[in-house]
Structure 1
Amino acid sequence: MSNFSSATSRRRFVQWALGATVAAPLAGCSVLNGGSGSSGSSGGNSGGPVEKSNITLGILGTQGSVGAKLAEKYGYFKQQGLNVTIKPYAQGPQAVPALINGELDFAVINYVSYYQAIAAKTLDAKVVVDGDVATETSQAIMAKPDSGIRTAKDLVGKKVGIQASKSLAELLVRATLKDNDVDPNSVTYLPITFPNIPAAIKSGQLDAGVEVEPYLTTSEQKDGLQPVIKIISGSTANMPVTGYIATSKFIDANPKTVAAFQRALFTAQRDATDRAKVAEVLPELSGVDQATAALLNLDTFPTANNPAQLQRVITLLQAYGGMTAQLNAADYLVPTPQM
């Protein structure tokens, strides 16, 4: 598998390129003041009033929440008759109890955790909006320049950091090894969080580790590490990462509210093709300054829900995550509304 030298040079050349797949939470919460907020406010293109206009959304400090921040900034929630209070969470699963007990109406969560919960029957919820899709440069295996690691075969017998056991990071490494005819069990997987992986590599605790933005870029800048192996490629190309979910109970009781929320988010995610607009929300989401944000690699942001795409996450879990449940992504996905 080819190394990342050309991709790294390209990123430094096009320093205006923006993106943020990060694991850090937002510094604080924010509220969109969009009108009176009384139940029954009219939503734009909704065909009638929404059932609930004051809603609370739990987000992550990751690229999967870019749509929410753009919808807030540009008034798309307000246009749909929604007053949205945004609450940050460090990890998506932390928001699940608040979602279940009604403190949150919607929440951003990584798909691996979501489908694991669905399979375990500990969560009755559906994906409302597909949040972000990884690209081949927004996640990668990092190592020291003199590590000797350049291909999947070079990972045999090595210690690799993977954020958490059975996380997307681990599944992507396992799939990459399998794609390159390497035994996925020939690597030692160590659960070390993204922010701590650079130090673990430098100390020798790890030989390599999976990184996402902004840690991918900051580990290059501050720690001298480099991306050595692509993990968003081949069978894992364009892999969905996170989505906005709501409980089935809330969806059934508030169909117009859900459709209005979807329209606001998908409108915002169309805006996310404009890097200048994404740049306006990246620093708050990623926790880095504007100059560093300009070096980060950007995910892509779907403008419609595609069950075939999300089925790939389930397939990945079944192949490498020990999932035995036969889930159909379409059964856990709210269709895209008329825009």
Structure 2
Amino acid sequence: MATRPTPPVRRTGGGARRAALAAVTALAVLTSGCSLLNGSSGQDGTAQSGGRTKIKVGIISLVDDAPVKLAQAKGFFAEEGLDAEVKVYPSVNQTLPALTSGEIDVTLMNYVSYFQAIAKKALDGKVISDAYQGTPDSMVLLAKPESGIRAPKDLAGKKVSVHAKGNIVELLIKAVLQDNGVDPNSPNYVEVKFPDIPKALDSGTIDAGGDLEPYVTQAEQQFGAQPTFKIVTGATSDIPLSGYVATNKFISGNGPAVTAFQRAMVKAQKAAADRTTLATVLPELTGVDRQSVALLKLGVYPTSVDATRLQRVATLMKTYGYLQQPMDVSALVVPAPAS
């Protein structure tokens, strides 16, 4: 009787392993794609955190930065897929090195400091979001009533404080003096930080100072100082004051994260128009008490960045010697995403 041959044994292990390997490879590609969509390739400074892209934002304790705190508190960053780490710095003297070194990804800068940094090649970066715009009462020249300072002509030979030499406040004062037929260089400009101006006026350390809220209201209430004349007027009317800046390296490597930041800030800038909403973040940010927020004479929080408006700042800077050459601002702005 013939013996039936034993059927060959089917070996399935190799096929299973190949299928598993293919699945893992597909998952890796998918994950990589998601990472890139979230603006993080693992090589350009951002990192993933719980499915969101981590971004480090540098701010200064000024009213300009209230929307960043709102975006964090109200979840606007999270809604756009960002995990924002917000770091507070004393001034642009600290934020600029932090930005260029990669310690932070985005920072607030007043536009005078920003354009100077670009001109000096201390920064290779662009404005990705507008922050704060001046209005006639949002930034003024303060003095004590007994100082005798009532008009621009009274500043000649006086000790006048600015937040930093060669900065936005000095430019505004010089422009207003020029508009009123006064030598822009006739005052003695000295550096005093915004929060310290009221006490400096009270002690007689300075004769006058260019200041903004909430320190203007504090100076009036606590030290009897008074606004003598406006410095956001005439040639400086509705002047853009500050914006959020990122390096070109970060922008080119993290486009989706930049777009997400812009979208979050549009929401936050709109929210900042409500004074009650502002009162939830300004006390911690600036030290003003919550009840006084309603009294503050604030500027505007723009919801879009406009190169034409920013060009006004660069043009004024060239006029008063802050820039040696004309600057085309249109190449220094990242357009906002379509709404």
TM over 0.5: yes
CA distance in 2: counterparts of 1:222 and 1:93, whole angstroms: 29
Q: Which moved more, 1:286-295 or 1:164-173?
A: 286-295
Larger relative contact order (C-alpha < 8 A, sep ≥ 6)?
1
Please give the secondary structure, in 2, of the residue aligned with 1:109: strand
CA contact (8 A) 1:42 1:80 kept: no
Match of 1:22 in 2: none
CA contact (8 A) 1:67 1:266 kept: no
Cα 1:285–1:322 change in 2 (3 A) is same
CA distance in 2: counterparts of 1:103 and 1:164, whole angstroms: 23
Cα 1:330–1:230 change in 2 (3 A) is same
CA contact (8 A) 2:56 2:86 kept: yes
Aligned 1:161-172 pairs, distance under 5 A: 161-172=161-172
Aligned AA for 1:173? I
Match of 2:70 in 1: 70
CA distance in 2: counterparts of 1:211 and 1:298, whole angstroms: 12
Match of 1:289 in 2: 289
Aligned 1:315-330 pairs, distance under 5 A: 315-330=315-330
Tell me the CA shift for residue 82 of structure 1: 0.8
Aligned AA for 1:82? L
Aligned AA for 1:293? V
CA distance in 2: counterparts of 1:190 and 1:133, whole angstroms: 24
CA distance in 1: counterparts of 2:134 and 2:33, whole angstroms: 37
Structure with more of its chain in helix, by fraction: 2
Question: Does residue 1:216 correspond to 2:234, yes or no?
Answer: no
CA distance in 2: counterparts of 1:204 and 1:128, whole angstroms: 41
Please give the secondary structure, in 2, of the residue aligned with 1:249: helix
CA distance in 1: counterparts of 2:70 and 2:220, whole angstroms: 28
Match of 1:201 in 2: 201
CA distance in 1: counterparts of 2:34 and 2:69, whole angstroms: 22
Aligned AA for 1:105? D
Aligned 1:54-65 pairs, distance under 5 A: 54-65=54-65
Tell me the CA shift for residue 273 of structure 1: 1.7
Please give the secondary structure, in 2, of the residue aligned with 1:127: strand
CA RMSD of aligned residues (A): 1.9
Match of 2:49 in 1: none
Counting aligned pairs with the same residue, the percent is: 46
Question: Does residue 1:234 correspond to 2:211, yes or no?
Answer: no
CA contact (8 A) 1:93 1:109 kept: no
CA distance in 2: counterparts of 1:102 and 1:191, whole angstroms: 28
CA contact (8 A) 1:60 1:91 kept: yes
CA contact (8 A) 1:58 1:108 kept: yes
Aligned 1:11-30 pairs, distance under 5 A: none
Match of 1:115 in 2: 115
Please give the secondary structure, in 2, of the residue aligned with 1:280: coil
CA distance in 1: counterparts of 2:138 and 2:220, whole angstroms: 13
CA contact (8 A) 1:214 1:296 kept: yes
Match of 1:98 in 2: 98
Match of 2:154 in 1: 154
CA contact (8 A) 1:41 1:81 kept: no
TM-score (norm 2): 0.83
Please give the secondary structure, in 1, of the residue aligned with 2:270: helix
Please give the secondary structure, in 2, of the residue aligned with 1:177: helix
Aligned AA for 1:210? G
Deviations 1:264-314 (A, max 9, x none): 101111112222211211111111221233322212111111001111111
CA contact (8 A) 2:144 2:226 kept: yes
Please give the secondary structure, in 2, of the residue aligned with 1:65: helix
CA distance in 1: counterparts of 2:247 and 2:257, whole angstroms: 13
CA contact (8 A) 1:138 1:212 kept: yes
Aligned AA for 2:153? K
Deviations 1:14-46 (A, max 9, x none): xxxxxxxxxxxxxxxxxxxxxxxx987699xxx
CA contact (8 A) 2:55 2:83 kept: yes
Please give the secondary structure, in 2, of the residue aligned with 1:299: coil
Q: Which moved more, 1:144-153 or 1:82-91?
A: 144-153
CA distance in 1: counterparts of 2:97 and 2:164, whole angstroms: 20
Any gaps of 5 or more consecutive residues in structure 1? 1-37
Question: Does residue 1:142 correspond to 2:130, yes or no?
Answer: no
CA distance in 1: counterparts of 2:257 and 2:213, whole angstroms: 32
Any gaps of 5 or more consecutive residues in structure 2? 1-30, 41-45, 47-52
Aligned AA for 2:88? P
CA distance in 2: counterparts of 1:50 and 1:165, whole angstroms: 38
CA distance in 1: counterparts of 2:249 and 2:110, whole angstroms: 21
Q: State how many pairs are aligned.
A: 298
Match of 1:88 in 2: 88
Tell me the CA shift for residue 111 of structure 1: 1.3
Tell me the CA shift for residue 207 of structure 1: 1.8
CA contact (8 A) 1:40 1:50 kept: no
